[in-house]
Amino acid sequence: MWREKEKLSDNVPGQTNRLEHMLIHIFLGFNLIILNLAPLKQAAVDLIGFDAETLDVLIIGCTTGTLKDDLAKMDAAIKKMKSELVDLLKLASITPIVVVTSDASVSQSDEQYASDNNIIILQSSNADTLLDMLTTNRKTRDMIDYIKSQRRFTPGIQSPR
């Protein structure tokens, strides 16, 4: 499926595209609980992954083209979640992710926006790494650490770690 990247926007039976379907199976392989929101056609959020052991929550938006307003939509969705799910956020670590299949470079303004709003942008090479990690039996914690290591930081500003 991943080798045919030009078909990732095609739907599998139902309302889920091939990219979302592939990510569902990757994250299931890492023992995450996955909620597929793609059929609801909500802005920004297509999948939610939850690790019951560490209480990490991955909020995932997918785009099979280039970044447009995906980062702003993700930021708005996260802000809404934080205002409505206060008790959950006291217990869980939320990680917003935008997965983009385009090999195009991420613009400086998108890099800045992602950095300022703590959003992780994953591109094709990151998906390749996740697939490699899955096929080499890496642990869930390794996968989550890898994803979090992909945060983009503005030069000159201290990392929030």
The DSSP line for 47-97 is EEEEETTTTEEEEEEEESS--SSHHHHHHHHHHHHHHH-HHHHHHSEEEEE
Per DSSP, the residues of 5-22 read GGGTTSBPSSS-BHHHHH
Residue ranges per structural domain of the chain: 5-149
């991943």: which residue's tokens?
Answer: 2
pLDDT surpasses 60 at 25:
yes
Return the amino acid letter for 15.
Q
The mean per-residue pLDDT over the stretch 43-66 comes to 90
**Digit-coded pLDDT (tens) for 92-133:** 999 999 999 877 788 999 999 999 999 999 988 888 899 999
d(CA 124, CA 130) in angstroms, rounded, equals 10
Indicate the pLDDT class of residue 13, thresholds 50, 70 and 90: low
First to last CA, the chain: 35
Structure letter (DSSP) for residue 153? -
The mean per-residue pLDDT over the stretch 78-97 comes to 90
Indicate the pLDDT class of residue 152, thresholds 50, 70 and 90: confident
CATH for the stretch 5-149: 3.40.1350.10
